[in-house]
Amino acid sequence: MEEEFKQDLISLVKIPSVYDSSGTPGAPFGQNVSKCLNRFLEIGEKLGYKAKDYDGYAGELDLGDGDRIIGILGHCDVVPAGEGWKTEPFDPVLVENRLYGRGSSDDKGALLACMYAATQLKDDGKIPEGIKIRIIIGTNEEEDWEDMPYYLQKTDAVPDYSIVPDAQFPVIYCEKGLYDVDIIYNHETPDSDAEIVLEDLNGGSARNAVAAKAEAVLGFGSGEVRAELLEATSKLVQNEIEKQRFDGASRIEDDKLIVTINGKNAHAMNPEKGINAGMQLIAVLNRLPAEKFSHHKFTAEYCRVIGDDYFGEKNGLACSDEESGKLTMSVGTYKMSEGGSVIMQASIRYPSSAKFEDIKTKTDQAFGGGAFSVTQISHMKPVYFKKTDPFVNLLMNVYRDVTGDKETQPISIGGATYARAIPNAIAFGPIFPWEEELAHEPNEFVDLDSLEKAADIYYNAIEKICGLIVEEES
């Protein structure tokens, strides 16, 4: 990639554009997200785009004039860095032409590559009159998607065809349904009756990422008998950690036992790729004596209906189809309230052929009684195109022409992209079939050689979509 592109990308990755709940007018999702959006708009103007800021909810970059619009949708916000990095996540480092940093792959690199590709297409005189290229930059994709409804209410027109460079090649014809819920343990047992009290539980950093670290604080009161119990519990916990070969430890501080487990981050669409530290921590806590532990009901019920299962087999949610594979369920965060209740943010990705009403009913049945209650946070319907759809075929042919890969077929994913936000949008790249998906994982990087090839694909794809529109107009 040319040096100017590299420096632009580095400037974007340096901005820790993680959602901040203390938003303000003009920066609804935090100052850093707003800063990153503004940086994208600045780069766009340098490349010849007309820029527009929709009150910090989204940005728009238009190239060319016309009533027919080709959309390119991406996002500038990123998930929290999480644990396990070998470099500083927001101090990008270039090693062997790989740029390491949170957001380098998801989604700043690909969106910037599309911007450069469209500019080159215009400079080459290949954008016909009457067609406009529109880059749409979202700001809340990693959270609750509050950006897109606001943008769609304010913008002058919706694109005729759109690509979303926020997934994999060759082309995504199917995205699973996404159902986000909070699972809540309602603590009722008086802690005064327990000799071992769970005083705090905290794990994970985002709903849509596997918890990479979790920690519990256990209290024992004071006195000689309590000290003996503290020591015995410490040994029991440490033995269990070693027995299960978990990456964790326990330590005694100020008459408290602090238990820490380290897992491995992964995207909630493929939770089996990660190691959920919260799952492992609760499994350890479940070995404490039931009659002495304040939260045995919680740990026992958790192990019964969630445990180490990512596919809904313990709680009756399990289902699958040929197009989109198995349902997955990931608990991303664990947080204890002052009263001892525990709130867990979970993300369920269900097959495209399943009915949401069935998934919701089964979720309510699994978590809506006894120790737990469940609250719906959001739902996104599946995205599905036939593999023979003309738009799918167009993108497949472009991919094959540039790469020479005639074998890889259109694929289905469990992730949620902006292809759900507007009609006639398809997720397309930038990760190649031979590359590992590192979104939401530690040590995220983008290979600049691969990104250059992706830019060639986007250049050709935009050109072909222009041709398709010209044909429709003739």
**CA pair distance 143, 140, nearest whole angstrom:** 5
pLDDT at 25 exceeding the cut of 80: yes
pLDDT for residue 444: 96
Q: Which residue has the higher pLDDT, 416 or 261?
A: 261
- Measure the CA–CA gap between 333 and 198, rounded to whole angstroms: 17
d(CA 135, CA 71): 6
Is the Cβ–Cβ distance between 34 and 20 less than 8 Å? no
pTM strictly above 0.85: no
Per-residue pLDDT, 99: 97
Asked whether 95 and 434 are in contact (CB, 8 A), the reply is: no
Is the pLDDT confidence value at 382 over 70?
yes
Q: Region 19-28: what's the mean pLDDT?
A: 94
Encode pLDDT of 108-147 as tens digits: 999 999 999 999 999 999 999 999 999 999 999 998 899 9
Q: What is the CA radius of gyration of the chain?
A: 24
DSSP state at residue 368: S
Give the separation between CA 18 and CA 30, rounded to whole angstroms.
8
Average pLDDT over residues 250-258: 94
∠ Cα 466 37 429 (to 5°): 45
% of the chain residues with pLDDT over 90: 88
The partner residues of 445 in beta bridges, in order of sequence, read 100
* pLDDT tens column, 279-296: 999 999 999 999 999 999
Does residue 224 carry a pLDDT above 80? no
pLDDT exceeds cutoff 90 at 392: yes
pLDDT higher than 70, residue 442: yes
Binned at pLDDT 50, 70 and 90, residue 474 comes out as: confident
Q: What are the tens digits of pLDDT across the range 167-183? A: 999 999 999 999 999 99
List CB contacts of 266: < 8 A, sequence separation 6 or more: 209, 210, 272, 273, 274, 440, 441
pLDDT of residue 1 exceeding 70: no
Does residue 39 surpass a pLDDT of 90?
yes
Mean pLDDT of 25-40: 98
Residue 213 bridge partners (DSSP): 262
**Contact indicator for 302, 292 with CB cutoff of 8 Å:** no
pLDDT, position 217: 97
Q: What is the pLDDT of residues 305-351, one digit of tens each?
A: 999 999 999 999 999 999 899 999 999 999 999 889 999 999 999 99
For residue 271, is pLDDT > 90? yes
Residue type, 53: D
In this structure, of 114-118, 264-268, 429-433, the range with the lowest mean pLDDT score is: 264-268
Alpha-carbon separation of residue 242 from 108, 236, 405, 449 (angstroms) = 40, 10, 46, 43
3-state DSSP: the chain helix, strand, coil percent, rounded to 5?
Answer: 35, 30, 40
Instruction: Specify the range with the lowest mean pLDDT, choosing from 63-77, 80-94, 146-160, 216-230.
Output: 216-230
Res 192 pLDDT > 80:
no
Longest C-alpha distance within the chain, in Å? Answer: 89
CB of 31 closer than 8 Å to CB of 94:
no
Length of the chain: 474
Strands 98-100 and 50-53, bridge-based pairing: unpaired
- Position 226 scores a pLDDT of 85
pLDDT at 403: 97
Give the list of residues 6+ apart from residue 123 with CB closer than 8 angstroms, or none.
none
Q: Under a CB-based contact definition with an 8 Å cutoff, are residues 332 and 80 in contact?
A: no
- What pLDDT does 223 receive? 64
Order of strands, edge to edge, in the sheet holding 161-164?
Answer: 50-53, 58-63, 131-138, 68-75, 161-164, 425-427
Long-range pairs for 402-408 at CB < 8 Å and ≥24 separation?
402/453, 402/456, 402/457, 402/460, 403/169, 403/432, 403/453, 403/457, 405/170, 405/433, 408/169, 408/170, 408/433
Q: What is the mean pLDDT of residues 190-204?
A: 90
How far, in Å, are 68, 96, 100, 157, 248 from residue 204 at the CA level?
A: 44, 31, 22, 39, 15
Burial of 456 (0-12, 13-18, 19+ CB in 10 A): middle
Angle 91-105-50 (CA atoms, 0-180°, nearest 5)? 95
